[in-house]
Amino acid sequence: MIRGPPQIVQKCPTDIVTVNRTNIVPRTHRHALQDLRQLRRRDSLRLFSSDHRILKFCTSEEAFQPRLVAAAKLQEEAPQMLDTFPSFKVSPGLAHPLGVSETESGINFAIFSQHASAVTLCIILPKSVHDGMIELALDPQKNRTGDIWHICIKELPQGGVLYGYRIDGPRNWHEGHRFDDSIILVDPYAKLIEGRRVFGDESNKMCRFFGTYDFNSLPFDWGENYKLPNIPEKDLVIYEMNVRAFTADETSSLDQDQRGSYLGLIEKIPHLLELGVNAVELLPVFEFDELELQRRPNPRDHMINTWGYSTINFFAPMSRYASCGGGPVRASWEFKEMVKALHGAGIEVILDVVYNHTNEADDENPYTTSFRGIDNKVYYMVDLNNNAQLLNFAGCGNTFNCNHPTVMELILESLRHWVTEYHVDGFRFDLASVLCRGTDGTPINAPPLVKAISKDSVLSRCKIIAEPWDCGGLYLVGKFPNWDRWAEWNGKYRDDIRRFIKGDAGMKGNFATRIAGSADLYRVNKRKPYHSVNFVIAHDGFTLYDLVSYNNKHNDANGEGGNDGCNDNFSWNCGIEGETSDANINALRSRQMKNFHLALMVSQGTPMMLMGDEYGHTRYGNNNSYGHDTAINNFQWGQLEARKNDHFRFFSKMIKFRLSHNVLRKENFIEKNDITWLEDNWYNEESRFLAFMLHDGNGGDIYLAFNAHHFSIKTAIPSPPRNRSWYRVVDTNLKSPDDFVTEGVSGISKTYDVAPYSAILLEAKQ
């Protein structure tokens, strides 16, 4: 349950400067515009067209006086009269901490901008206090310490205040500056962001985003018996998922106000437990603008960004994942409720974080909301040899300047915030090779940010996972700078497993290497098998069902003429492209999905699966579905129920089998005595059959065979360990429930016919 935040009243000492009250008498719309133009020319003040009136002030030791009074929206009617505005007492404030903080002297605001020449704090008070915008121009002589601008305001409300900044500076484009003081900018250190309240509300697609704060609420109650799961990395089974898409569909049977929310996810924790996973990796939950594609006409302006790889702010939880359109404070509270509930169920929370780029796009069509207008030259990589154009190693128009000292500290503070405030257990870094580039984009061997994350005391308990490539060609699979701490998305695992299972020639050796823990990539220094995050499917690309149902991507709905999305999918449609009623092809597809899942769950390393693959979710061949807030991405709970006793059952039992057998989750790399390769055909490029035995040291050996031929293989079964017999646990060629028998089926002879495109697992038991 959400506790209502209590009101906290504190007394503050008297400060230096006072803002006087005044009354504003409206004029006609035409006269108001004339006054605004005159004021703009005379005092360099701005015309701000929004739902809020503007009041402009300058800080000084004299009483503040209003400099600008304006109409609200430019409408064909006279603006309403403004109420009197409250008086404030202000002081220069403190340079640290950055962002908004509560001090004995009031509410302190501090923002970094190295190259700014003018900074104005813009405040919108709760309507119960004042209906309008107040602008406070900071004095560079009194409100600046080094590169940090700051001010402290006494008697501001302790919550419900919206704020942003107007920042001006050099207009020299070729030097990397993009200052524009007509735009109100979001504080990079804002802990909460206010924007539209309802996800995908197209009637409010042009809304502005503001920082806000909450010093009213009591600390979140994590509970007396609360504890972190602290699951060893070797024991993780990761479930990659999207918070909204998990429960947004009406088949979730949740109340409409709860669908697609943090609280909605809590309601479905029983499903995660039934499946057997013990970690969720959440697609981005930092504040992002899902309607950014609709802000101007373009081929993608019909889409809604549901994946969230377009960060506005690195500290604030996505506010539109709150239930009932509750806004940022409720979002923060409910996010903690979600983490608490997941931890109570023994499930860790890993966040997919995007520090390689932001939502602000490119120089051609910028969407300036924060960093670009605050100090573009600091926050982004620019090519000073090419008119200071933004460098683009992220494929999204800009590249965050991660190894600049100021930017590096921002990222570290953000990560610490999510660990200390929200108790998350780890991070997966999107396009993490960007973190390995210097400020000019050149790759560096020992990137300061990656090292700092590795050594940070607050982050020491966290799982840290790199997606070890970027869109600039820096492919670091197996080579990501790691300080023996970083795990990696193993892209080579994905490709090699796909190619072998679908029957490509010459892949048996690679398949064996990946199953055994990718020692060729990770057996370096003190790295472990679990530093390989093994996956066949991720959010980006085909779903598991589509991997066995489509040879080619079908992305026409994205509006980019089919030019987006990966072309190298290593997929096979099993004979017909897309949906079919052919029973034989559908049976083959079912076997192939089980083969992939079996291979993933018996591989040394850390397995990761995608939400929806447990029932066979389809996106109808779209391998880049980021922009569809529909059933293409949304979990289909009705389909899950239909597959509970077949597909889902197999997936769940296979996960639980892995977690109950230590031989599949070894701490160290496999040695010769740990495995027997039943193979004398390694160098035959046409061989698509692999069999081997894993030895657990206590006689509970496991035998596995994978047949990727289009014909059966009659294979010899080796003798079991002494005083043991072989029991068949898995045969993916059999129908449910015979495809997986937990207690095993006895009577295994000395040979076994392994059907085409199938796999078996035998367990030695007494």
Rounded to whole angstroms, the Cα distance separating 259 from 268 reads 11
457's CB contacts (< 8 A; 6+ apart) are none
CA–CA distance, 349 with 332 (Å, rounded to integer)? 15
Sign of CA dihedral 209, 212, 217, 219: positive
CA angle in degrees (0–180, nearest 5) for 209-351-373? 30
Angle at 54 between CA 48 and CA 60, to 5 degrees: 120
Phi and psi at 704, nearest 5°, equal -135, 140
Active-site choice (240, 281, 467, 470)? 467
3-state SS, one letter per residue, for 102-156: EECCEEEEEEECCCCCEEEEEEECCCCCCCCEEEEECCCCCCEECCEEEEEEECC
Place of tokens 């962002």: 99
Report the C-alpha gap between 568 and 560 in whole angstroms. Answer: 18
Torsion, Cα 563 569 573 578, to 10 degrees, reads: -30
- CA–CA gap between residue 465 and residue 431 (Å, rounded): 11
Dihedrals φ, ψ of 392, to 5°? -135, 80
Q: CA distances (Å), 708 to each of 21, 447, 588, 596, 730, in order?
A: 80, 42, 12, 11, 16
The CA-atom distances, in angstroms, between 580 and each of 544, 550, 551, 586, 753 are 16, 11, 14, 7, 28
Give catalytic status of residue 131 as yes or no: no
Q: List, in sequence order, the alpha helices (H) in 532-636.
A: 544-547, 583-602
- Give the three-state DSSP class for 694: strand
* Residues linked to residue 730 through DSSP beta bridges, in sequence order: 740, 761
Rounded-to-integer distance, Cα 291 and Cα 307, Å: 12
The single residue listed with the structure tokens 């391998």 is 623
Angstrom distances, CA of residue 262 to CA of 220, 293, 338, 440: 16, 24, 6, 39
- Both tokens of 343, joined, read 């931890």
Place of tokens 């704090």: 121
* DSSP 8-state assignment for residue 725: E
What is the maximum span of the chain, computed from C-alpha positions, in angstroms? 99
User: What string of DSSP letters covers 734-752?
Assistant: SPTTTTEEEEEE----SEE
Nearest to 162 by CA among 137, 130, 140, 139: 130
Q: Strands across the sheet with 159-168, in order? A: 54-58, 133-137, 118-124, 159-168, 210-214, 192-194
Q: Distance between CA 593 and CA 654 in Å, rounded? A: 12
Residue 430 designated active-site: yes
Please list, residue by residue across 468-503, b when 16 or more beta carbons sit within 10 angstroms of its beta carbon and e when fewer do.
bbbbbebebbbebbbeebbbbbbbbbbbbbbbbbbb
Task: Report yes or no: 622 and 632 within 8 Å, Cβ to Cβ.
Answer: yes
Q: Please pick, among 430, 495, 496, 701, the residue that the annotation labels catalytic.
A: 430
State the catalytic residues: 430, 467
